[in-house]
Structure 1
Amino acid sequence: MSEEPDSDNPRYRLDPRTIEMLVCPLTKTRLTLSHDKTELISIVARYAFPIRKGVPLLVIDAARRLDEAEVDALRNRPAPD
């Protein structure tokens, strides 16, 4: 039996209201949910913080550094509905 990815399991979905309250631990700026809903992105700090089982890990040790191309793509993507 294979396990569903965290982002597909309704039990582990992050509430949009929660996302609105969270800020980057470095810059205190707004975070953006990635397209695949597995990371919270800080464009200003250039970090992607993982979401594991519905819990955002907002620590630098868990974060992934974004390259310039990723930051540019995030800045130019259309706003969500």
Structure 2
Amino acid sequence: MAEHVSILQQMGVAALAGAAAAWTVSRVRLARRSRPATEGHPTGGGLGVLPRQALPPVETVVLTPAERDAFARLVRQFGEGRH
């Protein structure tokens, strides 16, 4: 127990922590109660609340052999600066 903190301050922190825990439990219970009754888990394995997000398409660039060599030299040049 910290000596510079009074008993009232410690009781206040404990009361706030208890109130936060009680609020969290009540919110979870209310959220579960308001859900429609379904058998088993919702399909798709998601939360059911959040929409699925589509990922952007992967972009690729075809390099010529000269560009590939220039990129390799650049990577080696940057790698030498770390020693």
Q: Do they fold alike, i.e. is TM over 0.5?
A: no
Q: Name the structure where strand makes up a greater proportion of residues.
A: 1
- What TM-score does the superposition give when structure 2 sets the normalisation length? 0.23
Q: Name the structure where helix makes up a greater proportion of residues.
A: 2
Q: Which has the higher contact order (CA 8 A, sep 6+)?
A: 1
- What TM-score does the superposition give when structure 1 sets the normalisation length? 0.23
